[in-house]
Chain A
Amino acid sequence: EDQVTQSPEALRLQEGESSSLNCSYTVSGLRGLFWYRQDPGKGPEFLFTLYSAGEEKEKERLKATLTKKESFLHITAPKPEDSATYLCAFPSYNTDKLIFGTGTRLQVFP
C-alpha cells in the first residue's frame, strides 16, 4: 500500500537556525514527488516537483532533495515569513491519485 510519512509533526526554529523536514514514502514505483507550502486558512501553494533520485531543486531559502525512499526539504537561515505547514505528496502507482502527508508545521521565531 502506498504510504507517506512526514516528520517532525511540528518544528520550532530561531530565525537563522537551519534545519530539514523529512518526507518518507512507500510506493511501488515513484513517479514524482511534490512539495507544497500551506499558510493557515489558505490552500496549498506549489513549491517543487522532483522526479528522480538525486534530483535537487532550490527556491530562495528552500532546497528539496530526493532519494529512493525519502525527500528532504532543507531550510537555510529561515525567517519568520517561512512559518507555514509544509506538505509532501506523490502520485499513487495504481490509481493516479496524489497521496498527501499530514505535513510539518514550521514556526520560525525572531
Chain B
Amino acid sequence: DVKVTQSSRYLVKRTGEKVFLECVQDMDHENMFWYRQDPGLGLRLIYFSYDVKMKEKGDIPEGYSVSREKKERFSLILESASTNQTSMYLCASSFGSTGQETQYFGPGTRLLVL
C-alpha cells in the first residue's frame, strides 16, 4: 500500500512565525505535491516537485516555499505565517512522468494561524 505521512495533524501558530510542514512517502515516487484545501475553493496546488532538488510553482505559491533534499521527503515552509494561511494542507505523491498518474494523499495538516 502507498503510504504518505504528514508530520502533524493539527498545528496552531502565531502570525509571523516560520512554519514547517513535512511530508514523507514510502513508495519511491518521483513526484510530490503540496495543496491547500479551503471550503468552496477545492484543492489548490501550491508547489510540486518532479525530482530531488527540483521544484515548480503551482497556482498559489505566494507566501510559501518548499524543499526536497531527499526523494521521499517534501517540506512546505511558510516563511512568515499569516491568518489567511489558515487552511487544510495536503501532501500527495505519484509515480512516473506522463502527468496521468494517480496521486496518493496524506492525512492532511490542519493549520490555524492566530
Contacts and interface: CB of A to CB of B under 8 A. Distances in A.
B16 to A, nearest CB: 27
A91 B42 contact: no
B111 to A, nearest CB: 13
A102 B40 CA distance: 7
Contact of A46 (B102, B106, B110): B102
Given A97-B58, A101-B42, A43 B108 contact: yes
B61 interface: no
B42 A102 contact: yes
Contacts of B59: 97
Contacts of B84: none
A104 B78 CA distance: 30
Given A46-B102, A49-B102, A100 B108 contact: no
B100 A32 contact: yes
Interface residue tally on A, bucketed by range: 20 to 34
Given A100-B42, A101-B42, A103-B42, A91 B100 contact: yes
A43 B100 CA distance: 20
A96 B97 CA distance: 9
B90 interface: yes
Contacts of B42: 87, 100-103
Contacts of B108: 41-43
Interface string A8-23: 0000000000000000
Nearest to A30: B100
A45 B105 CA distance: 7
19 contacts: A34-B102, A43-B4, A43-B92, A43-B105, A43-B106, A44-B90, A44-B105, A49-B102, A87-B43, A96-B98, A97-B45, A97-B58, A97-B59, A97-B99, A98-B45, A100-B43, A101-B42, A102-B40, A102-B41
